[in-house]
Amino acid sequence: MPFYKIAKMVGISPRTVELRYRKLVEQQVILQTTIRIDLGKIGYDGKAFIYLGVSKGIDRSVIIEDLKKIKGIYLIAAINGNYDILALLAVKDFANIIEVKDNIGKLSNVEKVDISFVPDETYPMSRWINNQIPQIISSQ
């Protein structure tokens, strides 16, 4: 969200918002800023969370490199728990999910693959979070 919009929402100047933002970056409260794309506006129906279980003793980085080659996967993370890797897939349609699941199933040392589809308008719950940000900044 641009500084001027935040400033207007909380009733302070854009320069004050910018200074407070820079202070939070310097204090390493804000570690990174990024953009978030509305997948629905560029032709996708939503996203799929792909959970992979890897064979015991296998280096996850090898499978992560293979996942990077699959079209539509835009985030990959090594995780702990019931699964070893989480990937996010921008989904065009149901056939796209099946195709990607089949491609992942062909990778060696992948023992299990589970997928959850989420329509783009339901996750993340950013509207609520975005509405809270100006209140947080104005209290700094």
6 neighbors 17 (Cβ within 8 angstroms): yes
Query: pLDDT tens digit string along 23-67?
Result: 999 999 999 888 777 777 888 888 889 999 999 988 899 999 999
More confident residue, 129 or 25: 25
Burial label, 135 (beta-carbon count in 10 A; 0-12, 13-18, 19+) = exposed
Cα Rg of the chain, angstroms: 19
pLDDT tens, residue by residue, 76-106: 999 999 999 999 999 888 888 889 988 998 8
For the chain, the domains span 3-36+124-138, 39-122
- pLDDT value for 36: 75
Check if CATH label 3.90.25.10 holds for domain 39-122: no
Find out whether 73 and 89 touch, Cβ atoms under 8 Å: yes
Confidence check: pLDDT of 16 > 70 = yes
DSSP 56: T
77: left (phi over 0), alpha (psi -120 to 50) or beta: beta
